[in-house]
Structure 1
Amino acid sequence: MDASKRQGRRPGMGKGRLEAFSDGVVAIIITIMVLELKVPHGSSPAALAPLLPVLLSYVLSFVYVGIYWNNHHHMLAVCRRVSGGVLWANLHLLFWLSLFPFATAWMGENHFAAAPTAAYGVVLLMAAVAYWLLQRTLVRLQGDDSVLMRALGSDWKGKLSPVLYALGIASTVWAAWIAQALYAAVAVMWLVPDRRIEGLVGSDQDG
């Protein structure tokens, strides 16, 4: 009899390669984004002024990529195994994250114009949807009584974020700065640490 069946678990794959591949893609995404920061032609502080929109776009995207990497790490830390469906859901998430450098550069180079700001919001929205799909795929694999399910809880941040992204995209019709404020607000919301999740991750690893 298969060992996983003797233990009362469904068979699955190891998660090491998924984590390593995801970490590598995230590192490449950040590298591409930072390469978009061009050196100013001048040595005075005033020479940095034209680059400020690009720099601010980079900072916002760096924070977002960092948030996804951090939450992705915590989510996988309480998962015992992955499946083919998880691999594809993870690739779907990485696809949308890989568009961050393009969306960031387009918005920054065009000084937060309406169309690039809306496109940036679409990338944020689709990345959030992809992360939710990955979450649900992992929950189905681990089980409704798993540590992951307990760690997610009501997931009010995950439910509120897409709504704010959609509002931001719609608001670019009137004022792009409203969208930018909403995107920044969501990033700040996710930067607030959730000690309960970290505690569950720690207790699961100790056990």
Structure 2
Amino acid sequence: MKVTRMEAFSDGVLAIIITIMVLEFKVPEGHDWSSLVDLVPKLLSYAVSFVYVGIYWNNHHHLLHTVQTLNGKLMWLNLLLLFCLSLVPFSTAWMGESGFAPTPTALYGIVLLLAAISYTLLQRAILKQHSPDSPLIAAMGKDYKGIISPFFYLLAILTAYLNAWVSCFFFVLVAAIWFVPDQRIERVIKNRAM
């Protein structure tokens, strides 16, 4: 199997995840702007989740361009990532429906933590295909964003029971950290093409 096939499959799954999230919205009963007030928690949870799925899609795309040989391990780790991300619509809907109640907010954090761990496992497996002195390994260096993100997710999970808005702050903070795609991989690919 070629990497492009795995990438196309992953793109399809991520597109379905976004579609499922938007289908969770029910049309309000009323016909004025105030009818949308009840949808605010759902819209907020959807917006954050949409950004997260977009971040994963973007970084996943860059990461797969560094695969040298596709093997069963990479395929299963990719499926693990997609499985974790497929839980985002459920946790997003529950968090939004509950108005950011503690347990749904904590579950959302757990899902994001699992997705981060699975992405890290996939990334490490791909990087192991490269020699220790390769430009990619040098460019990746210390993965500060990858190290700090799970820590913030753990804080979000724990603070969900103290104050859901503090928990949501950590979700938004991690999204902001990752909003700009990982330029390290892009630079190596660009240098390789020259």
- Shorter-normalised TM-score: what interval? over 0.9
CA 1:194–1:18: 2 relative to 1, 3 Å: closer
- Contact between 1:33 and 1:58, CA under 8 Å: does it hold in 2? yes
- Other-structure match for 2:7: 19
- Other-structure match for 1:108: 96
CA shift digits 1:80-108 (9 cap, x unpaired) = 22211000110010000000000000000
- Other-structure match for 2:157: 169
Matched, 1:44 2:44: no
CA shift digits 1:103-123 (9 cap, x unpaired) = 000000000000000000000
Alpha-carbon RMSD across the aligned residues, in angstroms, is 1.5
Matched, 1:138 2:130: no
Correspondences of 1:36-115 after superposition (within 5 Å)? 36-115=24-103
Deviation of residue 193 (structure 1)? Answer: 4.6
Deviation of residue 67 (structure 1)? Answer: 0.3
- Contact between 1:139 and 1:146, CA under 8 Å: does it hold in 2? no
- Other-structure match for 1:3: none
TM-score scaled to structure 2, two decimals?
Answer: 0.94
Matched, 1:124 2:112: yes
Distance in 1, matches of 2:16 and 2:181, equals: 25
Matched, 1:179 2:167: yes
TM-score scaled to structure 1, two decimals?
Answer: 0.88
Distance in 1, matches of 2:116 and 2:59, equals: 12
- Contact between 2:102 and 2:164, CA under 8 Å: does it hold in 1? yes
Distance in 2, matches of 1:194 and 1:137, equals: 17
Deviation of residue 23 (structure 1)? Answer: 0.6
Q: Name which one, 1 or 2, has greater alpha-carbon Rg.
A: 1
Alignment identity in percent? Answer: 54
CA 1:159–1:173: 2 relative to 1, 3 Å: same
Select between 145-154 and 23-32 the one with higher mean Cα deviation. Answer: 145-154
The alignment partner of 2:128 has SS state of helix
- Contact between 1:75 and 1:148, CA under 8 Å: does it hold in 2? no
- Contact between 2:109 and 2:156, CA under 8 Å: does it hold in 1? yes
Q: Residue type of the partner of 1:150?
A: A
Number of equivalenced pairs: 194
Q: Residue type of the partner of 1:94?
A: L
Unaligned runs of 5+ in 2: none
Distance in 2, matches of 1:129 and 1:145, equals: 25
The alignment partner of 2:145 has SS state of helix
Deviation of residue 144 (structure 1)? Answer: 2.6
Deviation of residue 17 (structure 1)? Answer: 1.3
